[in-house]
Chain A
């Protein structure tokens, strides 16, 4: 008798504690799949950038940076794309305008000379060669007003370097 009561109690407590969707697909909460899939996006795709910025996209697709994703340098554009419209009737809020990093150090993230990058420089089989320079030594021209080293993008067009 006591045994049956304990079993019934256990089943009752178990029913209340185990989530409804548990075990739907396996030993986990089935709803967790949908919850994981529903998280908001931050990054968009380059194809979405090309829909409005086709001129820049055209420049980029001719140069060495053709294979690069726009957001790799410009940052996540999910909200920028979401609130933009191609007719330009709504001005985007400042917080939605993407801020580029135009410092020398940012270009050096890929193009700084490094022993691990040299093999890529001499790779003649694949034509996708990454040019490397020494950021500290390359082009020591100072800006006349700020007296800082010139940024890379003053000479090189980042979309078609």
Chain B
């Protein structure tokens, strides 16, 4: 036999429902607390706010970005520590996707798939996306990784406890644990060069100018016009990380 519905429980249910709905409406009205309610709006402020544009059509996969990044930032030379690296995607006629990145592309690429089987092939340079809603910053338990006022995601190596939580959190695989210092390590957008008015090493050494960087707040900057003039996309847009790395001609096979 079914139990008759308890009148008081229905009342509590309706009441809590109304309170919840009212709360949502009220929190929407509280503009100053929007940062808590709707995490991660684009930060307001003066000064540069950097983003990156990479043109996959121009990349020739020479790996100079990966090489210069390693030398500029004393990244360990082992072939599994990278702040910046290049991947070659080869899509066969039967739809099979092959991804290779021998030593990050530093020593060049050898074609592994015979020409007659290839439908298309292209290089994808990868690096930190410098997200403004970055998952890696959100998970740091001690505040050792943060977004600088310029929109650059940085690590404080003197404060990091090496818990590797951020390495797990980054959906783009852009972080690693530095084997010498045992702290999290990642692309710093060459913050030390940027602050001296120089281009980051990977941008300066790209022979085809496939990668550019610029101020997203300046509507006349090279990057803003790059995004306007090309069909750009970020990696994994479904994750809503607020990535500031915009790829031109990004195929959906790229992960």
- Answer yes or no: B201 CB below 8 A from chain A CBs: yes
- Answer yes or no: B248 CB below 8 A from chain A CBs: no
Using A36-B192, A43-B68, A43-B71 as known contacts, say yes or no to A105 and B207 having CB atoms under 8 A apart: no
Q: How large is the interface on B (under 10, 10 to 19, 20 to 34, 35 or more residues)?
A: 35 or more
CA distance A129 to B213 in the complex (A): 23
- Answer yes or no: B169 CB below 8 A from chain A CBs: no
A107 to chain B, nearest CB (A): 10
Using A32-B154, A35-B156 as known contacts, say yes or no to A130 and B208 having CB atoms under 8 A apart: yes
Instruction: Please tell me if the beta carbons of A28 and B121 are within 8 angstroms of each other in the complex.
Output: no
Collect the chain B residues with CB atoms within 8 Å of residue A130's CB.
60, 208
CA distance A32 to B193 in the complex (A): 15
CA distance A161 to B19 in the complex (A): 74
Q: How large is the interface on A (under 10, 10 to 19, 20 to 34, 35 or more residues)?
A: 35 or more
Proximity string of chain B (99-111) to chain A, C-beta cutoff 8 Å, 1 when within and 0 when not: 0000000011111
Proximity string of chain A (57-68) to chain B, C-beta cutoff 8 Å, 1 when within and 0 when not: 000000001011
- Answer yes or no: B49 CB below 8 A from chain A CBs: no
- Find A41's partner among B61, B90, B193 (CB 8 Å cutoff): B193
Instruction: Please tell me if the beta carbons of A120 and B193 are within 8 angstroms of each other in the complex.
Output: no
Instruction: Please tell me if the beta carbons of B111 and A114 are within 8 angstroms of each other in the complex.
Output: yes
- Answer yes or no: A38 CB below 8 A from chain B CBs: yes
CA distance A125 to B249 in the complex (A): 16
Instruction: Please tell me if the beta carbons of A115 and B111 are within 8 angstroms of each other in the complex.
Output: yes
Instruction: Please tell me if the beta carbons of A43 and B62 are within 8 angstroms of each other in the complex.
Output: no
Number of A-B residue pairs with CB-CB distance less than 8 Å in the complex they form: 131
Proximity string of chain A (143-161) to chain B, C-beta cutoff 8 Å, 1 when within and 0 when not: 0000000000000000000
- Answer yes or no: B96 CB below 8 A from chain A CBs: no
Stretch at the interface among A4-12, A69-77, A88-96: A69-77
- Answer yes or no: B196 CB below 8 A from chain A CBs: yes
Collect the chain A residues with CB atoms within 8 Å of residue B198's CB.
41, 45
A161 to chain B, nearest CB (A): 12
Proximity string of chain B (78-99) to chain A, C-beta cutoff 8 Å, 1 when within and 0 when not: 0000000000101000000000
- Answer yes or no: A117 CB below 8 A from chain B CBs: yes
Instruction: Please tell me if the beta carbons of A68 and B148 are within 8 angstroms of each other in the complex.
Output: no
B residues 137-164 touching A (CB-CB < 8 Å): 143-149, 154, 156, 158-159
Using A26-B146, A36-B154, A71-B68 as known contacts, say yes or no to A115 and B192 having CB atoms under 8 A apart: no
Instruction: Please tell me if the beta carbons of B88 and A116 are within 8 angstroms of each other in the complex.
Output: yes
Instruction: Please tell me if the beta carbons of A42 and B156 are within 8 angstroms of each other in the complex.
Output: no
Q: Who on chain B is nearest to A33 by CB?
A: B148
Using CB atoms and an 8 Å cutoff, list the residues of chain A in contact with chain B: 19, 22, 25-29, 32-33, 35-43, 45-46, 65, 67-69, 71-72, 75-76, 105, 108-110, 112-117, 119-120, 126, 128, 130
28 contacts between A and B (CB under 8 A): A25-B149, A28-B159, A29-B144, A32-B156, A32-B158, A36-B192, A37-B191, A42-B71, A42-B72, A42-B74, A45-B198, A67-B209, A69-B205, A72-B68, A72-B207, A109-B62, A109-B63, A110-B60, A114-B111, A115-B113, A115-B115, A115-B118, A116-B88, A116-B123, A117-B60, A119-B57, A126-B58, A128-B208
| Shortest beta-carbon contacts, A-B, top 6 | A32-B156, A28-B146, A115-B121, A109-B108, A116-B121, A37-B195
If A22-B143, A40-B192 are given as contacts, then 15 extra A-B residue pairs at C-beta distance below 8 Å, sorted by A number, are A28-B144, A28-B146, A28-B159, A29-B156, A32-B154, A37-B192, A38-B192, A39-B191, A41-B192, A75-B71, A112-B108, A113-B111, A114-B111, A116-B90, A119-B57
Using CB atoms and an 8 Å cutoff, list the residues of chain B in contact with chain A: 57-58, 60-64, 68, 71-74, 88, 90, 107-111, 113, 115, 118, 120-123, 143-149, 154, 156, 158-159, 188, 191-193, 195-196, 198-199, 201, 204-209
